[in-house]
Chain A
């Protein structure tokens, strides 16, 4: 079953009266352009970075690739929830602040659990539970007001973002929650694989090997736990969206609310679930940031909302609902992260990333609209 706007749809799936191969190429490019842009950008940095540093710095290194993966964690998590919401023709402006709230809640729960004697893994689970619970409440309220009271999503999530921000500040201690148990950093920063190259080296799993000096210098950290957690969430969201009735109904509601209502889909309940899902991914993001920085922060998600929306749009999700894929969002997040990292490595002021990302977003929407133009011409030709 295909859905409009699917970036991974086979290029040959066209209607009757196909038109020239040029048109087919144009359509193919319009779907895959984000992939192409990412590839071109990576290629550019692979060539430019060594050139600009006289060969002393390389772009495609293990360390850099892992940095990029770590960098996309918060944006991607927020983007995954936002993908679902946008496909359902909604929008969630509260995700950045839900992430902050989740960070604060998980830090408080973790600290309290640990201080009352719980072993660290249990305290960590308590933190996760607190993050998800808090996020879930916000998501439920967002969805309920949007579905039952019929207030536009833009307004509801904007309003709730202010409320959430206030709650996060109030619950934190001057916007940070510190005093978390010492071993916590391992959960947020350790990785699956540690690789030490050269003599005396080796491959280690799950825990940081206790080495120092030269060996430590050569150690590569591969697949940190937050990246693995994000990959898990990514797989889950992909499954939900593309393989389940829940995902199918999300596309339907975004494509035609009317058709969905008349088909007997419990639209109100579905909308609530979608907003709860969006908040939950933000909750996971907040929890992971607490683990990474061993502190809860009421400000950590503030700047991420716009980046998450940019990633989703670059990835091909339509602002009007009914179309888009998860892979697209991943590509969008990667483009932003690769760009930032590459600019730093070129020693170009990182502020340029904002200009480039903004341009790419606008280009993404233009390409999306031009696709309709190309299809439109085909559509008229298809009437028999």
Chain B
């Protein structure tokens, strides 16, 4: 199991009377893209939020990079290298690209023997450009507030932010939502780039073409349970749809 970066074992999470995640286990290995599929309300988001520290699971365990983890806050999970990009991106629209990439972790210059700190804008702009270049993201200017950028460009900024902070595992929730077709391609390309750089990606989506375009394996959830786990190349749309609507169930709880 040394290849598995993330292992989720028998995770359970309920809210009041509703069991959102019911005894789910899965595994993410280095260098792969895992698709997490399911219709609305299947429990994908809840599962992910347990892994990224937003929720604490009621039962089960999370093993990351060989060690059992309990994440009490999202920052906890990020510190260990799990970066999550939610649908709303969590970007500050009024700040520019560099400011967003470094949000919360700004680079500072010290003066007067450490008494006074100022923002080292130049260093941050420099680093931003390096990161963006490495992901082959091209922006015409880095100094516009990002609200003037397109949806796909903003996704790219969110990804660049995660990459800069040395994400070991990237979780993306419906990244191609609300994007035009060329931008969707761009985002999928970025996901492949990440995988090639050794950062595995968990891709939550209910858009099957995306799953087929970029994932290595898929896990399907339905009503809180894991109902299928397939190698992408060995399955097809009709089959996955059947799993997603609950017409088929492999009952693969470990």
A56 CB contacts on chain B under 8 angstroms? none
A258 in the interface (beta carbon within 8 A): yes
Q: Nearest residue in A to B144 (C-beta to C-beta)? A: A15
15 contacts between A and B (CB under 8 A): A1-B124, A1-B125, A13-B144, A245-B108, A245-B117, A248-B99, A248-B119, A251-B95, A252-B95, A256-B90, A256-B92, A256-B93, A264-B74, A382-B148, A383-B180
Q: What CA separation (Å) do A45 and B151 show in the bound complex?
A: 49
Establish whether residues B148 and A259, one from each chain, have CB atoms under 8 Å apart when the complex forms: no
Establish whether residues B95 and A3, one from each chain, have CB atoms under 8 Å apart when the complex forms: yes
In whole Å, how far is B124's beta carbon from the nearest beta carbon of chain A? 7
Establish whether residues A245 and B90, one from each chain, have CB atoms under 8 Å apart when the complex forms: no
Quick one: which of A251-268 are within 8 Å of B by CB?
Answer: 251-252, 254-256, 258-260, 262-265
Contact bitstring A357-384, B, C-beta under 8 A = 1, else 0: 0000000000000000001001100111
A315 in the interface (beta carbon within 8 A): no
A23 in the interface (beta carbon within 8 A): no
Establish whether residues A1 and B98, one from each chain, have CB atoms under 8 Å apart when the complex forms: yes
Establish whether residues A379 and B147, one from each chain, have CB atoms under 8 Å apart when the complex forms: yes
B149 CB contacts on chain A under 8 angstroms? 15, 379, 382
B114 in the interface (beta carbon within 8 A): no
Most central of A1, A256, A258, A264 by chain B CB within 10 Å: A1
A164 CB contacts on chain B under 8 angstroms? none
Establish whether residues A244 and B99, one from each chain, have CB atoms under 8 Å apart when the complex forms: no
Interface residues of chain A, those whose CB is within 8 Å of chain B, are 1-5, 13-16, 243-245, 248-249, 251-252, 254-256, 258-260, 262-265, 322-323, 375, 378-379, 382-384
Establish whether residues A1 and B94, one from each chain, have CB atoms under 8 Å apart when the complex forms: no
**A255-B94, A265-B103 known, 5 other contacts, Cβ within 8 Å:** A1-B125, A245-B117, A263-B90, A322-B93, A383-B180
Q: Nearest residue in A to B97 (C-beta to C-beta)? A: A1
Quick one: which of B188-207 are within 8 Å of A by CB?
Answer: none
Q: What CA separation (Å) do A14 and B149 show in the bound complex?
A: 11
User: How many A-B contacts at CB < 8 Å in the complex?
Assistant: 110
Q: Given A16-B140, A245-B108, are A259 and B92 also a contact pair (CB < 8 Å)?
A: yes
Q: Kindly identify which residue among B92, B141, B147, B180 contacts A260, using a CB–CB cutoff of 8 Å.
A: B92
Q: Nearest residue in A to B84 (C-beta to C-beta)? A: A262
Establish whether residues A3 and B103, one from each chain, have CB atoms under 8 Å apart when the complex forms: no
B51 in the interface (beta carbon within 8 A): no
Q: What CA separation (Å) do A1 and B95 show in the bound complex?
A: 8
Establish whether residues A263 and B104, one from each chain, have CB atoms under 8 Å apart when the complex forms: yes
Establish whether residues A4 and B124, one from each chain, have CB atoms under 8 Å apart when the complex forms: no
A256 CB contacts on chain B under 8 angstroms? 90-94
Q: Kindly identify which residue among B91, B99, B104, B108 contacts A265, using a CB–CB cutoff of 8 Å.
A: B104
Q: Given A1-B119, A378-B148, are A264 and B90 also a contact pair (CB < 8 Å)?
A: no
Instruction: Tell me how many residues of B have a C-beta within 8 Å of chain A.
Output: 41
B173 CB contacts on chain A under 8 angstroms? none
Interface residues of chain B, those whose CB is within 8 Å of chain A, are 74-75, 78, 86, 88-96, 98-100, 103-106, 108, 117-119, 121, 124-125, 140-141, 143-145, 147-152, 180, 182-183
In whole Å, how far is B79's beta carbon from the nearest beta carbon of chain A? 9
A15 CB contacts on chain B under 8 angstroms? 140-141, 144, 148-149
In whole Å, how far is B107's beta carbon from the nearest beta carbon of chain A? 9
B150 CB contacts on chain A under 8 angstroms? 379, 382-384
Establish whether residues A243 and B94, one from each chain, have CB atoms under 8 Å apart when the complex forms: no
Q: What CA separation (Å) do A245 and B98 show in the bound complex?
A: 13
Q: Nearest residue in B to A2 (C-beta to C-beta)? A: B143
Establish whether residues A322 and B148, one from each chain, have CB atoms under 8 Å apart when the complex forms: no
Most central of B78, B105, B147, B182 by chain A CB within 10 Å: B147
A258 CB contacts on chain B under 8 angstroms? 88, 90
Most central of A251, A259, A379 by chain B CB within 10 Å: A259
Counting from the closest, the 3 A-B pairs by CB-CB distance are A263-B104, A255-B94, A322-B94
Q: What CA separation (Å) do A264 and B79 show in the bound complex?
A: 10
Q: Kindly identify which residue among A264, A322, A382 contacts B78, using a CB–CB cutoff of 8 Å.
A: A264
In whole Å, how far is B213's beta carbon from the nearest beta carbon of chain A? 20
In whole Å, how far is A331's beta carbon from the nearest beta carbon of chain B? 20
In whole Å, how far is A136's beta carbon from the nearest beta carbon of chain B? 21
Establish whether residues B117 and A13, one from each chain, have CB atoms under 8 Å apart when the complex forms: no
Q: Given A15-B149, A256-B90, are A245 and B95 also a contact pair (CB < 8 Å)?
A: no
In whole Å, how far is A17's beta carbon from the nearest beta carbon of chain B? 9
A243 CB contacts on chain B under 8 angstroms? 118-119
In whole Å, how far is A329's beta carbon from the nearest beta carbon of chain B? 17
Q: What CA separation (Å) do A248 and B92 show in the bound complex?
A: 11
Q: Kindly identify which residue among B78, B100, B125, B147 contacts A4, using a CB–CB cutoff of 8 Å.
A: B147
Q: Nearest residue in A to B140 (C-beta to C-beta)? A: A16
Establish whether residues A248 and B106, one from each chain, have CB atoms under 8 Å apart when the complex forms: yes
Q: What CA separation (Å) do A165 and B121 show in the bound complex?
A: 43
Establish whether residues B143 and A1, one from each chain, have CB atoms under 8 Å apart when the complex forms: yes
B180 CB contacts on chain A under 8 angstroms? 383
In whole Å, how far is A372's beta carbon from the nearest beta carbon of chain B? 9
Establish whether residues A260 and B143, one from each chain, have CB atoms under 8 Å apart when the complex forms: no
B90 CB contacts on chain A under 8 angstroms? 256, 258-259, 262-263
Establish whether residues B104 and A384, one from each chain, have CB atoms under 8 Å apart when the complex forms: no
B147 CB contacts on chain A under 8 angstroms? 4, 379
In whole Å, how far is B172's beta carbon from the nearest beta carbon of chain A? 15
Q: Kindly identify which residue among B95, B124, B144, B148 contacts A255, using a CB–CB cutoff of 8 Å.
A: B95
In whole Å, how far is A301's beta carbon from the nearest beta carbon of chain B? 31
Q: Nearest residue in B to A322 (C-beta to C-beta)? A: B94
Establish whether residues B91 and A2, one from each chain, have CB atoms under 8 Å apart when the complex forms: no
Establish whether residues B121 and A259, one from each chain, have CB atoms under 8 Å apart when the complex forms: no
Q: What CA separation (Å) do A254 and B95 show in the bound complex?
A: 10
Establish whether residues A1 and B78, one from each chain, have CB atoms under 8 Å apart when the complex forms: no
B125 CB contacts on chain A under 8 angstroms? 1
Establish whether residues B119 and A2, one from each chain, have CB atoms under 8 Å apart when the complex forms: no
Q: Kindly identify which residue among B105, B118, B145 contacts A264, using a CB–CB cutoff of 8 Å.
A: B105
